[in-house]
A and B are shown apart, each in its own frame.
Chain A
């Protein structure tokens, strides 16, 4: 056990391991690229959808069921299925990652919108605000904390799933996990797993720090 950790530390810190196209630095960049781009695409799809459902109150049934569908969908199956359907392109990775991220974004955006006090919306309308003004100047700012929670959740899921993408012969940090499993090289497998976990935790902490920074005035006002 001790020997294993010593080798793991050596693997993670050796300079040669970080260099080159199959080095840690390159795989890390790939992993971040898949994760961030997929979350961004998912946000572009999910945010307007969630805002629309929340603002109009129509399609709430869809928003709620989308959440449990997203939770139940097996990631591995989805990645393999899209891969078999589309062959060796970047499509399977992005389709699978986006499909996973959209439900959490839509449902949390919707939840944030429904949590806005109806009296506040009435007051905004009473002041003569139009529908889009109520949406963008009242509902959206008030719903932002929950929307951010949805984005954070989506990003964690995507970082985690981007690992699985390596199974269908793509890059990213999952490469180390699957190559290691194939070569019975436990140190490499563990190294990959540790790196993925660190990326997920650091990104989540980063987003939560960003969230706190963006809403620093609000918490001050509440106090």
Chain B
């Protein structure tokens, strides 16, 4: 099995657009995942009885195979990017929800009491004290969810989307390994680059971690 380098040269435009489409699907999913899991995590953190229920529910959703989620969404959203993004979002929830709840749990009770004693209102405490302090744990979840989504986008190739995943079906149908190898390598590269970018983002977002050092 050898790589046909001229095929890569002839298809750089396609590869670039597939890579961007791939990244866009994964990032949209993580964005919506955060949008859903942040309020749910605050609820799970403050209302103890709901905590087990919400975390359990996200665990069960995670058990459903990705291809099954995409397929089960077909009657609702059809062969579209929406199906891909909804499916991936469901997958990010388990990691994002768990990490956000754990992050909020990790904020010392004394810090919250100090905020209260200074007359800070609960919403303000959440936004300016709890969430920033929980950020490292939340970001760890975002990193895992991003890498996982990037890997999962390719499964959507079976419902006609899938970014770089299209290279896998293409290579399989033509019995031609080059696109498959290129697809695997680009997916791994994309995951590494996105992960590094998120580490950089976290560095920028938590300046207080640097001052101490």
Interface assignment of B37: CB less than 8 Å from any CB of chain A: no
> A156: which of B63, B71, B150, B159 is its contact (CB, 8 Å)?
B63
A190 touches B184 (CB 8 A): no
> B67: which of A1, A186, A196, A204 is its contact (CB, 8 Å)?
A196
> B74: which of A156, A160, A168, A186 is its contact (CB, 8 Å)?
A186
Assembled-state Cα–Cα distance A168/B180 (Å): 13
Assembled-state Cα–Cα distance A201/B195 (Å): 30
Interface assignment of A118: CB less than 8 Å from any CB of chain B: no
Interface assignment of B82: CB less than 8 Å from any CB of chain A: no
B63 touches A77 (CB 8 A): no
Interface assignment of B157: CB less than 8 Å from any CB of chain A: yes
**Known: A77-B154, A193-B67. Is A72-B177 also a contact (CB below 8 A)?**
no
A85 touches B1 (CB 8 A): yes
Interface residues of B in 125-165 (CB under 8 A from A): 144, 147-148, 150-152, 154-155, 157-159, 162, 164-165
B71 touches A160 (CB 8 A): no
Assembled-state Cα–Cα distance A215/B101 (Å): 26
Interface assignment of A64: CB less than 8 Å from any CB of chain B: no
> A81: which of B148, B165, B180 is its contact (CB, 8 Å)?
B180
Assembled-state Cα–Cα distance A200/B180 (Å): 28
Assembled-state Cα–Cα distance A144/B154 (Å): 34
Interface assignment of B104: CB less than 8 Å from any CB of chain A: no
A163 touches B171 (CB 8 A): no
0/1 interface trace, chain A 188-213, chain B, CB 8 Å (1 if under): 01101110110011001000000000
The range of chain B's interface size is 35 or more
Of the stretches A20-28, A126-134, A174-182, the one at the interface is: A174-182
B168 touches A77 (CB 8 A): yes
Residues of B within 8 Å of A159, CB to CB, are 65
Distance in Å: Cβ of A52 to nearest Cβ of chain B? 25
Interface assignment of A109: CB less than 8 Å from any CB of chain B: no
Assembled-state Cα–Cα distance A193/B147 (Å): 24
24 contacts between A and B (CB under 8 A): A68-B147, A72-B188, A72-B192, A73-B151, A74-B152, A74-B187, A77-B180, A77-B184, A77-B187, A80-B169, A84-B1, A84-B175, A84-B177, A84-B180, A85-B177, A181-B158, A181-B159, A186-B74, A189-B71, A189-B74, A193-B72, A194-B72, A196-B65, A201-B63
